[in-house]
Amino acid sequence: MSETSGEAISSECDDMERRRRRFRWWPVVLILLVLLALGLLSRRLYWRWQFEARVAALEAAGYPVRAEQLEAMYPPLAPGQANAADLLREAAELYRDSLSVQEVKLLPLAGDGEMPARGQPMPPDVKEIVTRFLDENREGVERVHRAVRLDACRYPVPWSFDDAADWSLHRTYRSGSLLCLSALQSFDDGQAEAAVDALIAALRLARFVRQVPTLSAMLTYIEACDDVAVTLEWGLGRGSLADGQLHRLQQAIGESDRPETMAQALACHRCMLLPGFRRLERYPNRLPRAPIAAVYGAMGLPSRDGTLFIDVAESYIDVTRKTMSRWQAEMTQVQTQWEPRLRRSMLLADMAEGGFSGALRIWLSRTARIECVRAALAVERHRLAQGALPEALADCAPGLLENVPADPFTGRELRYERLRSGFVVYSVGEDGRDDGGWEPPSRSQRALGQTYDITFGVER
């Protein structure tokens, strides 16, 4: 009996010891969980503090960080002043497109078609499509012409990506494409004055867009100017313009855009994205699935990414303060510096593939293109005045050119070559290689590894 009782007591003691051992682990686990929670909370608070401190530093440095500050950079019109944007919105509502998919593939500028061969008339099937498309949009084109004759334009711009406003860059760009298409038709019909009027209207419309201090507006402006350049190049290949017409085009193109314009656009783009790092649902780019995004937000990682985004954007803004010919080398350094951290960010991984650097490269290329146009117009005016092409671009300055435009990729003067039936003005482009003014081939003829220059040529 006593032996059985002793065994029972011993077993009970063993059970109590095991329970005590198990019980001792709970405080340890609990403490670890509390410490982990405190650690995550402290990191979350630190990242949020760091982000807000960086935003405050931007504001102290004069950068926009709130929507109302962006609004102040795009001041309202005077009371009673006619607003070109009202007519442009009407034009957008009048836009019609009844073309088939196959016809859109043939339509240049406003569709996916390629430009007609230089010096050659539009193919009959393309001309029929262009004529029909412009006929059904004639009323909208007329509205755009009325709009650009006004002195002021202020779009109802959404200053945050989640603000639904009645304004669309795409619709405005579409109006510019219609103007260039109208110029293309006029050039083909031998109506030079109407073509020049349409191109000047397109440039005026592009300037209205340029006044909007956002990156998307700047890129739309650049694309619109490129359409003008493409159309004008083809038109000059069909026939010469009078000196007065060339001079009007020079005036419409105006002075070169300064790098500060792109710096402002980058700063405004940064400002517009800041709310998305405070509230993840306001982030404009693609987000992961909701559960992952919720955990990401709860850990405070958007604030950490926001600080990274601010610093990356500032690095690219610093690039624009350098001489343009140094931009590519500077961008390579910036991309090398930030790429590893960007790839580890769920929100910013796409920026590792281009982002700001892509925008700056587009700006450089289009700047080179417009400078080539400016120089080519001066060469054409010299040919009219002297009866022969100039030996060098310097022969056009300072009378027809204020100075010889610089190649933004090299900092040296643009290249100029006289050809058997005309001339070409060109920039060496991104690769820095002088290909002798070899123009970019059409999309259907481009080959991998092929190199070419950024050109504006006139042959007839």
Do residues 72 and 208 both lie within one domain?
Answer: yes
Report, as an integer, the average pLDDT of 46-56.
Answer: 92
Do residues 77 and 205 both lie within one domain?
Answer: yes
Do residues 245 and 287 both lie within one domain?
Answer: no
What are the C-alpha distances in Å from 67 to residues 170, 329, 439? 22, 33, 43
Element (H, E) at 427: strand 422-427
Report, as an integer, the average pLDDT of 42-56.
Answer: 88
In-domain check, residue 200: yes
What are the C-alpha distances in Å from 453 to residues 112, 176, 309, 424, 429? 23, 26, 34, 11, 6
- Higher model confidence: residue 1 or residue 106? 106
Element (H, E) at 296: helix 290-298
Do residues 78 and 27 both lie within one domain?
Answer: no
DSSP 72-86: HTSPPPPTT---HHH
pLDDT given for residue 10 in this prediction: 57
pLDDT given for residue 1 in this prediction: 47
Report whether pLDDT(31) > 80. Answer: no
Give the number of other Cβ atoms within 10 Å of residue 223's Cβ: 17
Range of 40-49, 139-148, 214-223, 395-404 with top mean pLDDT: 139-148
In-domain check, residue 51: no
pLDDT range class, residue 156, cuts 50, 70, 90: confident
**Domain-ending residue, one of 202, 227, 254:** 254
Do residues 107 and 246 both lie within one domain?
Answer: yes
In-domain check, residue 53: no
In-domain check, residue 45: no
Do residues 133 and 244 both lie within one domain?
Answer: yes
Do residues 137 and 211 both lie within one domain?
Answer: yes
pLDDT given for residue 346 in this prediction: 80
**Domain-ending residue, one of 233, 254, 275:** 254
Report whether pLDDT(263) > 90. Answer: yes
Element (H, E) at 416: strand 415-419
Alpha carbons 9 and 180: distance in angstroms, whole number: 100
Domain that holds residue 154: 64-254
Do residues 125 and 240 both lie within one domain?
Answer: yes
| Averaged confidence pLDDT in the chain | 87
In-domain check, residue 447: yes
pLDDT in tens, 170-189: 778 888 899 999 999 999 99
> Which of 309, 356, 304 lies closest to 49, judged by CA?
304
Give the number of domains in the chain.
Answer: 4
Do residues 274 and 218 both lie within one domain?
Answer: no
- Higher model confidence: residue 10 or residue 85? 85
**Domain-ending residue, one of 254, 289, 310:** 254
CB 304 within 8 A of CB 47: yes
Do residues 346 and 232 both lie within one domain?
Answer: no
Compute and round to an integer the Cα radius of gyration of the chain: 30
Q: Helix, strand, coil: what percent of the chain each, to 5? A: 65, 5, 30
Q: Each residue of 177-208: b (16+ CB within 10 Å) or e?
A: bbbbbbbbbbbbeeebeebbbbbbbbbbbbbb
Q: Which amino acid is at 116?
A: P
pLDDT range class, residue 350, cuts 50, 70, 90: confident
Alpha carbons 370 and 109: distance in angstroms, whole number: 17
Do residues 230 and 266 both lie within one domain?
Answer: no
In-domain check, residue 297: yes
DSSP 224-240: HHHHHHHHHHHHHHH--
pLDDT given for residue 166 in this prediction: 45
In-domain check, residue 409: yes
Report whether pLDDT(192) > 70. Answer: yes
Which range is least confidently modeled, 70-74, 147-151, 290-294?
A: 290-294
pTM: 0.87
In total, the chain counts a number of residues equal to 460
Do residues 174 and 139 both lie within one domain?
Answer: yes
Report whether pLDDT(164) > 50. Answer: no
Hey, is 452 helix, strand or coil? coil
Report whether pLDDT(165) > 60. Answer: no
Report, as an integer, the average pLDDT of 424-436.
Answer: 93
Strand order, beta sheet including 415-419: 415-419, 422-427, 454-459
Report whether pLDDT(30) > 70. Answer: no
pLDDT in tens, 270-285: 999 898 888 876 666 6
Report, as an integer, the average pLDDT of 158-181.
Answer: 75
Report whether pLDDT(224) > 50. Answer: yes
pLDDT in tens, 65-117: 999 999 999 989 999 999 999 999 999 999 999 999 999 999 999 999 999 98
In-domain check, residue 181: yes
